[in-house]
Amino acid sequence: MLRALLEVVFPRRCAGCGEGPWPFCDACRSSLLALERPWCERCGAPAPAPRTRCRACPPPEIERARAPFLFEGPARNAIHHLKFEGWRGVAEALGASMAAVAGPWGPAETSGTQAASPAAGPDSPVDAVTWVPLSARRLAERGFDQARALAEVVGSRLHLPVARLLVRTTDTGSQARRSGPMRRAAMAGAFESAGQPPPLVLLVDDVLTTGATAAACARTLLDAGASRVRLLTAARALAPAERAQLRPGPGRYTRMGLAPGSVVARGNVPR
Ligand SMILES: [Zn+2]
Ligand SMILES: [Zn+2]
């Protein structure tokens, strides 16, 4: 009720540029770079032909990784708005696209891919969704956890339980200037288990860069009893070699049914 009222007074703006209509205006939608096949089946990085792994693959703790968008342009802006400016509605716009790429990992009865995805297979349904948590200090600064907001939209759309399974025990500061191995060293021991994880966990974060943070989370979940961990992020940063494999095409954001006028665009996201 309050939210509906606020949206009349302060209508939502394009998650990318903040000017056009929500969730993404035409200009931003057409410049969102979608990650699509052919790709590395393990991590979803674009490739000249389908492959089972690649140089951009995250650390081995991550069974598979997917992200709807390259971390550039409107997707990068949207994540910035979500993380640093508290535009919580952005989680719905991005989470819807994340759920669309992770569709095969939803419950078998809704994904319709049961026959193609045996229980032990790489696209079998996950048991629960969790997220890469902020430290208590960062959470107090920001007021909300952006990865949790994304995880809740993904869980709601895929009809999966969302559970807090991790606690961040140390504040490692910005990873942006650290190399891959340095990031991994900095992240080791940064998380603790917050309960018994189910066998197959879907870990949600905003951006996949080297995967060091996600791997530290996955290691903690595996040590606590999970048998497999998959990763779903809103966007993916790519090195120039993988970035060069992206081919322009019709915007997947439109094909996902997320164009203006769709359920997401109207803001009627099922909770
Ligand atoms: Zn825009
Ligand atoms: Zn890969």
Q: Which of 234, 102, 212 is nearest to 158 (CA)?
A: 102
- CA of 207 from ligand 2 middle (Å) equals 15
Ligand 1 centroid–CA 145 distance in Å is: 24
Q: Which ligand is nearest to the CA of 239?
A: 2
The model's pLDDT over 181-225, given as tens digits with 9 standing for 90+, comes to: 777 777 878 999 998 999 999 999 999 999 999 999 999 999 999
The ligand whose atoms approach the alpha carbon of 75 most closely is: 1
**Distance, CA 267 to ligand 2 centroid (Å)?**
34
Q: Decide if 20 contacts 12 (C-beta within 8 A).
A: no
Ranges of each domain in the chain = 58-108+123-171+180-258
* pLDDT at residue 116, as a whole number: 47
163 CA from centroid of ligand 2 (Å): 27
Which of 81-95, 230-244, 256-270 bottoms out in mean pLDDT, i.e. has the lowest? 256-270
CATH of domain 58-108+123-171+180-258: 3.40.50.2020
Tell me which of 143 and 154 has the higher pLDDT: 154
41 Cα: distance to centroid of ligand 2 (angstroms): 7
The structure tokens 């952005």 sit at: 90
Instruction: Give CA–CA dist 116/42, Å, rounded.
Output: 17
Query: Measured in angstroms, how far is the CA atom of residue 27 from the centroid of ligand 1?
Result: 6
Helices 90-101 and 146-158 pack at an angle, to 10 degrees, of 50
CA of 112 to the centre of ligand 2 (A): 26
How far apart are alpha carbons 122 and 105 in whole angstroms?
A: 9
Å from CA of 70 to ligand 2 middle: 14
DSSP-assigned states of every residue in 148-213: HHHHHHHHHHHT--B---EEE-S-----TTS-HHHHHHHHTT-EEE-S---SEEEEEEEEESSSHH
Peptide bond into 68 cis (omega under 30): no
Quote the pLDDT of residue 207: 97
> Which ligand places an atom closest to the C-alpha of 18?
1
> What single-letter amino acid sits at 36?
E
